Amino acid sequence: MHAVLPQQKTALAALHAAMPEGVLLSDHSDLERYSRDWTGDHFGRPLAVARPRSVEDVSLLMRCCHELGIHVVPQGGLTGLVGGAVPSFPGGEVVVSLERMNKVRSINAIDFAMVVEAGCILEDAKRQAEAADCILPITFGAQGSCRLGGNVATNAGGFNVLRYGMTRDLVLGLEVVLADGRIWNGLRTLRKDNRGYDLKQLFIGSEGTLGIITAVSLKMFPRPTQIETALVGLASVEDAMALYAVARRECSDLLSAFELILRGGIEIAVNAHPDLDDPLSQPYPVYVLLEASAGGRVDLKALVEDFLANAGNLVLDGVIAASRAQGEKLWLLREMMVEAQGRGGRYLRTDVSVPISSIASFVTESIAALEVAHPEALVVTYGHVGDGNIHMNVVPPEGMRAEDMDGLFHAAEDIIFDVIDRHGGSISAEHGIGRVKQRAYIKRADPLTLELAGRIKDAFDPLHLLSAGRILPLREV
Amino acid sequence: MHAVLPQQKTALAALHAAMPEGVLLSDHSDLERYSRDWTGDHFGRPLAVARPRSVEDVSLLMRCCHELGIHVVPQGGLTGLVGGAVPSFPGGEVVVSLERMNKVRSINAIDFAMVVEAGCILEDAKRQAEAADCILPITFGAQGSCRLGGNVATNAGGFNVLRYGMTRDLVLGLEVVLADGRIWNGLRTLRKDNRGYDLKQLFIGSEGTLGIITAVSLKMFPRPTQIETALVGLASVEDAMALYAVARRECSDLLSAFELILRGGIEIAVNAHPDLDDPLSQPYPVYVLLEASAGGRVDLKALVEDFLANAGNLVLDGVIAASRAQGEKLWLLREMMVEAQGRGGRYLRTDVSVPISSIASFVTESIAALEVAHPEALVVTYGHVGDGNIHMNVVPPEGMRAEDMDGLFHAAEDIIFDVIDRHGGSISAEHGIGRVKQRAYIKRADPLTLELAGRIKDAFDPLHLLSAGRILPLREV
């Protein structure tokens, strides 16, 4: 815990006086749950927590903070994994939690569009889309906790990017409160609009550093009436990628997920959950969990069966779910692997991407290098390989001391990132930079990119009050 | 023709001295074809024309222009329709034509990605994609003349937006020369990359005002092995939109085009081309030209037939093309309508959008208002209604004097835009603002949007040398 400085106390008192009753929390006990992210790895005590009920509350708050020179960090579901929404240590930031702005404002199945507030939990929005016989296709493990403002601010990825794109591709409009408290209203549901600069693109993926997203309009899609889920066993990552090449062509853009899981991941899942058995008749080095979806006029079951049956020698074994329950059980393997991989402790997460044609080389080279340098560590490899996105995580041996873990994580990350660099890849495919990936980002970014990013930051937030120190390093202004 | 000012002569001489032999044209006769756009409506004489052969040439040119204070306008195929790439009248701008940078640099069917230079003609890139058994799905009438740098700079739309998105959605990376001549290299083929601000989004759709795009990497898709094209006759725009709602659900995201054409458009096409007959057994008020595409494992013909047969009373009559040749003939109706609508003379083009659920009201209300105010004019209505995008064009009566035409066009545009405003629509769905739509854009834009746009312009082009006066009004710096 850190001390609150006298000038911070004065500013906080002024903020209390300005804000409506019930918006601002600053009692120590109230701040705890806004201080730590979902992983528990990232921690920082806020000066206070604002819980606005409306865009006007956010606007007033920012006007005050702008006047008082108070730093602010917007916060969604705290599931972002790069420490972007956790208050900075040693403090001084006011957290703006959007959790009370959680309504679906409107939903229109003819426009295939919905408007939601930033604090709306993704799963709630998805459920409402389904009630209108549509889908909101942003899909990932954290969907029961993450909030759509955060999804948009981080341009979240997930399982269905392959078919439906990143969150960016699904955003039709935004409502944003700027650093000085003014409200920018770009909350449209038009599917085509080429009037001048597309300002919303700047806020999407800027991790709260350029404005506070308060509402979002999103594309929906027709709700599929058929979903086919299959798990197949293969000899190698090369074969998995060859299967992907066939799948893209044979499944006519109906493929909605293509997840790679190495054998180790399947073992973690099976050991972690009593209901899960080894899914195929014998173990295989590599698995692919794939899904296709369609409306009623396609024989989707035949399509998936025929495609797999005709995939030559690539598919060694496989199972197609005979029911939704079986399909969900296949997905449970994927979820349990993620949940159980760290054995409840800390581990290194990476989130990298390479061109699709380099996936197999990247996996082989990285694992080989890690095995030589850190034979004691467990490497867990999986990913959304249809997008070239791999999560290669490194779990320390049981009983390793915290200091040694830090060393292992740094060294292992350097090894993985070196391979990424050789393949022209990205050290952050879908999670963003936040604070956790900043060192690695800055090291690799070319100076012109950083200069242009700095100019944008200065243009939108000249006092650097919003999420300072995320993406770009802290800088005196 | 305008006179070249003495200080422009000096600057031009310095530019000639700095640039490699053959890059700069300034003889009067050489400038003509860079002075007028495809419609012939927009004209302006450049100070000179630069035809760079490489990104280094563009970089050198911009370094010199930056030093000499010379204004520059990048130019692609001159098919943009809003005067954005036409030199400003009364002159003083150097045109940078990308026409000699027209190569496909690389193509990779496993990555489903291609890298092309900005001057590459869209149709050439599409052909090369097809040779690799893929498609580049940007598709529109001007594809034989437009260049990909221009398509990206204007975020072009077209027929296939419904399924594949706007050009923005297809861009994986960019190479851009900035106003001061520095080269920003963001030419990646990664499908997911969340490292910091996504700078390429700023250049896409900024119509040459923030940088000169010199190369683009683009998403490709599997080449469909089946295409089904149908033309159906309906009683009303309401019924067409009801059919669209059914089509989105029944065709499982395999629908690639859904074009509305009112009867008048069909008549224009049939009268304009000797090979075209009235396509259905009798005339209908409204037509929809739709297309679906898929790979081999979907029975696409049955899907389209069954969907149309089960569309209830909506479809009064229709024809499904029995061959590619027949499909192309249906598309020829669409093309000939566009080509012949103006009878070779000037006419008002609009390019508007509304939420999909407002299309029918917009069309009905606009046409009714135009008929009352301008019964002498011919209104031609068609559009990509799956995206909410209508082109409602107004053709003057034969023999109308030029001055009267200007009055008609302004009055008719005001009528259409008033209806657009009532429905919360956009006055520029896919063509951008350029100079032609600027008055209407500025009038409707909220001051905060214009202020933020101005800050971005200042951040990227502080001297306002690039495409000055497009999107935002000319401003002294």
Same domain, A334 and A279: yes
Contact B249 A222 (CB under 8 A): yes
Categorize the per-residue pLDDT at B321 as very low, low, confident or very high, splitting at 50, 70 and 90: very high
CATH code for position A282: 3.30.70.2190
Same domain, B291 and B360: no
Mean pLDDT score of chain A? 96
* Chain A residues with CB-CB distance to B206 below 8 A: 197
pLDDT computed for residue A64 by the predictor: 97
3-state helix, strand, coil in chain A (%, to 5): 40, 20, 40
Q: What is the average pLDDT across B443-450?
A: 97
**Of the residues B288, B320, B340, the one at which a domain ends:** B340
Residue A267 lies in a domain: yes
pLDDT computed for residue A127 by the predictor: 98
CATH code for position B131: 3.30.465.10
Considering only CA atoms, which of A282, A306, A281, A279 is closest in space to residue A292? Answer: A306
Contact B192 A430 (CB under 8 A): yes
CATH code for position A49: 3.30.43.10
Percent of chain A with pLDDT over 90: 94
Residue A467 lies in a domain: no
Contact B112 A426 (CB under 8 A): no
Q: What is the DSSP letter of B315?
A: -
Mean pLDDT score of chain B? 96
Categorize the per-residue pLDDT at A6 as very low, low, confident or very high, splitting at 50, 70 and 90: confident
Whether the upstream peptide bond of residue A90 has omega within 30° of 0, thus cis, is yes
Contact B426 A193 (CB under 8 A): yes
Contact B253 A424 (CB under 8 A): no
pLDDT computed for residue B3 by the predictor: 64
Same domain, A29 and A119: no
Percent of chain B with pLDDT over 90: 94
Same domain, B249 and B294: yes
Residue B445 lies in a domain: no
Residue A431 lies in a domain: no
Contact B453 A199 (CB under 8 A): yes
Whether the upstream peptide bond of residue B397 has omega within 30° of 0, thus cis, is no
pLDDT computed for residue A90 by the predictor: 66
pLDDT computed for residue A423 by the predictor: 98
What's the total number of domains in chain B? Answer: 4
Residue B459 lies in a domain: no
CATH code for position A399: 3.30.70.2740
SS3 sequence of A160-224: CHHHHCCHHHHEEEEEEECCCCCEEEECCCCCCCCCCCCCHHHHCCCCCCCCEEEEEEEECEECC
- Tokens of residue B380, six digits: 């031609």
pLDDT in tens, B158-210: 999 999 999 999 999 999 999 999 999 999 999 999 999 999 999 999 999 99
Q: What is the average pLDDT across B396-420?
A: 96
* Chain A residues with CB-CB distance to B133 below 8 A: 249
CA-CA-CA-CA dihedral for B208, A217, B259, B151, to nearest 10: 10
Q: What is the average pLDDT across A166-194?
A: 97
Which residue in A has a C-alpha nearest to residue B224's C-alpha? A252
Report whether pLDDT(B2) > 60.
no
Report whether pLDDT(B89) > 80.
no
Residue B433 lies in a domain: no
CB A337 within 8 A of CB A268: yes
pLDDT in tens, B233-267: 999 999 999 999 999 999 999 999 999 999 999 99
Categorize the per-residue pLDDT at A1 as very low, low, confident or very high, splitting at 50, 70 and 90: very low
Select the residue of B113, B206, B388 nearest A192 (Cβ to Cβ): B388
Same domain, B85 and B122: no
Same domain, B303 and B359: no
Residue A327 lies in a domain: yes
* Chain B residues with CB-CB distance to A298 below 8 A: 252, 254, 298, 303
Considering only CA atoms, which of A116, A122, A93 is closest in space to residue A103? Answer: A116
Contact A192 B424 (CB under 8 A): no
**Of the residues B160, B190, B222, the one at which a domain ends:** B222
Report whether pLDDT(A20) > 70.
yes
pLDDT computed for residue A169 by the predictor: 97
Select the residue of A178, A190, A201 nearest B353 (Cβ to Cβ): A190
Same domain, A111 and A217: yes
Chains A & B: contacts with CB separation below 8 Å: 266
**Of the residues B340, B368, B383, the one at which a domain ends:** B340
Categorize the per-residue pLDDT at B312 as very low, low, confident or very high, splitting at 50, 70 and 90: confident
pLDDT computed for residue A89 by the predictor: 65
- Tokens of residue A312, six digits: 């030559």
Beta strands in B7-76 (DSSP E): 24-25, 48-50, 71-75
Nearest CA of chain B to the CA of A176: how many Å?
12
Contact A108 B188 (CB under 8 A): no
Same domain, B199 and B147: yes
Categorize the per-residue pLDDT at B40 as very low, low, confident or very high, splitting at 50, 70 and 90: confident
Lowest mean pLDDT segment, chosen from A57-66, A393-402, B468-477: B468-477
Contact B202 A202 (CB under 8 A): yes
Select the residue of A197, A245, A389 nearest B206 (Cβ to Cβ): A197
Same domain, B88 and B110: no
Categorize the per-residue pLDDT at A41 as very low, low, confident or very high, splitting at 50, 70 and 90: confident
Nearest CA of chain B to the CA of A276: how many Å?
31
pLDDT computed for residue A302 by the predictor: 96
User: Bridge-partner residues for A72, per DSSP?
Assistant: A94, A466
pLDDT in tens, B270-291: 999 999 999 999 999 999 999 9
pLDDT computed for residue B476 by the predictor: 78
Report whether pLDDT(A71) > 60.
yes
CA–CA separation, A19 and A60 (whole Å) = 7
Considering only CA atoms, which of A168, A312, A161, A342 is closest in space to residue A247? Answer: A312
Report whether pLDDT(A2) > 60.
no
Report whether pLDDT(A142) > 50.
yes
Select the residue of A192, A354, A433 nearest B166 (Cβ to Cβ): A192
A370 by Cβ neighbours in 10 Å (0-12 / 13-18 / 19+) ranks as buried
Select the residue of B197, B206, B433 nearest A453 (Cβ to Cβ): B197
Q: What is the DSSP letter of A279?
A: S
pLDDT in tens, B113-133: 999 999 999 999 999 999 999
Same domain, B231 and B211: no
Contact B389 A192 (CB under 8 A): yes
Length of chain A: 477
Q: What is the average pLDDT across B386-394?
A: 97
Give residues with Cβ within 8 angstroms of B407, minimum separation 6.
none
Residue B464 lies in a domain: no
Nearest CA of chain B to the CA of A9: how many Å?
33
Range of the domain at B93: 6-100
Select the residue of A178, A194, A355 nearest B205 (Cβ to Cβ): A194
The type of residue at A353 is: S
Percent of chain A with pLDDT over 70: 99
Percent of chain B with pLDDT over 70: 99
pLDDT in tens, A405-453: 999 999 999 999 999 999 999 999 999 999 999 999 999 999 999 999 9
Same domain, A115 and A89: no
Same domain, A108 and A213: yes
